[in-house]
Amino acid sequence: MFINLYIYSFIMFKLFLIFLLMSFMMMYLNMSWMLEWMMFNFNSINVEIFILLDWMSVLFISVVMLISSMIMLYSMIYMEGEIFLSRFIKLVILFVLSMVLMVMSPNLISILFGWDGLGLISYCLVIFYQNYMSFNSGMVTVLCNRIGDIGLLMAIGLMFTYGSWSIYILNKKISLILFMIFLGGITKSAQIPFSVWLPMAMAAPTPVSALVHSSTLVTAGVYLMIRFNKIMIFSGVDKILFYISVLTMFMSGLMANFETDLKKIIALSTLSQLGLMMMILSLGLKLLAFYHLLTHAVFKSLLFMCAGIMIHLMNNNQDIRLSGKLNEFIPFTMISFYISSMALMGFPFLAGFYSKDLIMEMIYMMNLNLFMMWFIILSLSFTVSYSLRLFYYIYFGEIKSGFMYYKEDKLMNLSMLVLLMLSVMCGSLLNWMFFFDYNFTFMKFSMKMLTLIMLIFGIFIGLYFWVKDMMFIYFLSFFLSSMWYMNYMFHIIYKSLNNYGEEGFKMDKKWVEFYSKKVLLNTIEDMMIYKQGNSKGLKIYMFIFILIFMYMSMVLML
């Protein structure tokens, strides 16, 4: 089985190199390939599968392949001794293939194949460890995502009247279709009010979390909105998206300052960055959003890899209050965690700095509401505060629980080293690739330094959270750490559905099963009587035979 993992990792790494070279070639030659396969036509409707390969989709596939190959190497040691390892490998490969199919598709029908594949396989991966917590998390994940899937299905139904499912036929008049696609995008990327499922999906194994939160599943919604961005700006949906995304950034950043679960803090940081991507998308800068999407994917996968090793060291304990001085036991992992967290904060000249600083500069140049501007900057300062709070507990706290003897593995370190180098370099490399011919942004020195000043302000917020134990305002901290009671809102929504399901189950149990069983038993009994010479049994037997014969002949005629 480990040989298979080696092979899969090697193949994915080779695909990464091939797709990366292809994207460079396509970008500089300004070319793209489109393949079209018509499955069947019905009246004037052509059911087609499109594959669009342009530099954007090919570059994104190359990043997905790179992260997947490193996670495969990491899983060889992390999942060692797992009974169902073969199932895990197959699910991860199917997950990556679903994402690739979704990325290459400009057609809503072919997008749906990859989209539903992501939803179904993510459910299987969340419930991989079979316990009640995983089951509940999996159900919340799949039910929240189905709302977005319904939006996509309704968009397909509405586009049926236009004769094609290609995104290129859409224009600014079809606002209802665009709203349905927007619903699918915000659900998959866990924007408010569908943010509940993202921290709960942490019940999956850590390698899956690293894959889901960096380059697959949650980024599917952002990528869909990047593809539809040009049309979204004309439809009025962009204003709704702006307010939702900024509120998501603020809520997730504030919540992460009160959270004590290591993986949930990193998941909430993903939610904050997704809000930032959606916010810049709503302002019409899709290339900037794509740039931040790629840089974020690299350091976020590294963060989750480091978190998995820490959890193993802490005897599968995820509470950061029980950890401390981990750098004495796993030094390379903690160096990687430190650098990737600094990249997340936007520390100068690391990967996250180039994309976040450019995003903020473009926002300063726009004519935005001052209140929303300060909201955005405060949300960014929360990124620094929760990262520093995490540093305080992990580096400077006292270890308060028994830990396993854990020695760092060379193979895991190799997979993390590749992502560590990219966390330092990929921001500048992609900046030279994307914006080599763009004009510079000129602004006042005070405006230029505003982002840096607010990040320093975030350090003081983090210091306040260290000094003040926020448990003295228990109800406020519980409110802030439970996603503003959004999970209870979903409980209210689904309660009525559950009640209907319960009544339906009772009806099924009382009526359908009982009477169908009774009719079947009577028929068998009559057939048995026929053998003993009863004509009533013969009539029923002949009646059933005629019904089956008529059904089969109709099928053959069709």
Handedness of CA 229, 122, 481, 317 (dihedral sign): negative
Q: Where are the domains of the chain?
A: 492-557
Question: b/e per residue, 42-77, with b = 16+ CB within 10 A?
Answer: eeeeeebebbbbbbbbbbbbbbbbbbbbbbbbbbbb
Map 373-410 to HEC letters: HHHHHHHHHHHHHHHHHHHHHHHHCCCCCCCCCCCCCH
> Which tokens belong to 140?
């919340």
Identify whether the C-beta of residue 310 lies closer than 8 Å to the C-beta of residue 326: yes
State residue 555's pLDDT score. 47
Question: Nearest CA to 437 among 315, 286, 287?
Answer: 287
Map 241-282 to HEC letters: HHHHHHHHHHHHHHHHCCCCEHHHHHHHHHHHHHHHHHHHHH
Q: How far apart are CA 120 and CA 99, in angstroms?
A: 12
State residue 528's pLDDT score. 47
Identify whether the C-beta of residue 140 lies closer than 8 Å to the C-beta of residue 121: no
> Which tokens belong to 472?
């003295």
User: Per-block average pLDDT, block size 10, for the chain (558 residues)?
Assistant: 73 87 86 81 74 87 90 84 82 88 83 85 85 81 83 83 70 72 84 82 83 81 82 71 88 83 87 89 85 89 88 81 80 88 86 85 83 86 86 79 68 87 86 71 77 79 64 64 69 62 58 52 50 48 56 50
Q: How far apart are CA 341 and CA 302, in angstroms?
A: 9
Identify whether the C-beta of residue 527 lies closer than 8 Å to the C-beta of residue 538: no
Q: Which residues on adjacent β-strands are paired with residue 36?
A: 50
Q: How far apart are CA 344 and CA 299, in angstroms?
A: 7
State residue 498's pLDDT score. 60
Residue at token pair 């005897």: 315
In this prediction the pTM is 0.82
Residue at token pair 């802490």: 314
Q: Which residues on adjacent β-strands are paired with residue 46?
A: 41
